[in-house]
Amino acid sequence: MAAKDTYAALMLQAAGVIRLRYVVCGRNDQLPPVAADELANLFEGLSNGDPAFDQIDPNEAIALAHRLLDDDHPEQSRLWPHNP
């Protein structure tokens, strides 16, 4: 149970970082606030165990969350929104 709680806390923390950096502060011109908000929603869905996000690789989500928290090139993740 502790691992699930830790995973959920990490996903919520990543959602908060995304919203603060990219939605509120508009830190990165390459990630529009709408895309950042969608990514934050994904992290929140993962934290709640929402079945709509079952196809997301949890290891990739964990890796992206750590990249976000460390501010270490999160755009290199497969989960990062890319402009068409």
Token look-up 């806390």 returns 9
46-to-35, 52, 58, 83 alpha-carbon distances in Å:
17, 9, 8, 23
Q: How far apart are CA 61 and CA 41, in angstroms?
A: 13
pLDDT digits (tens, 9 = 90+) for 1-49: 676 789 999 999 999 998 888 777 766 667 788 888 899 999 999 999 9
- Report residue 43 as tokens: 């992290």
Residue 72 — very low, low, confident or very high, per pLDDT cuts 50/70/90? confident
Residues in the chain: 84
The structure's pTM equals 0.81
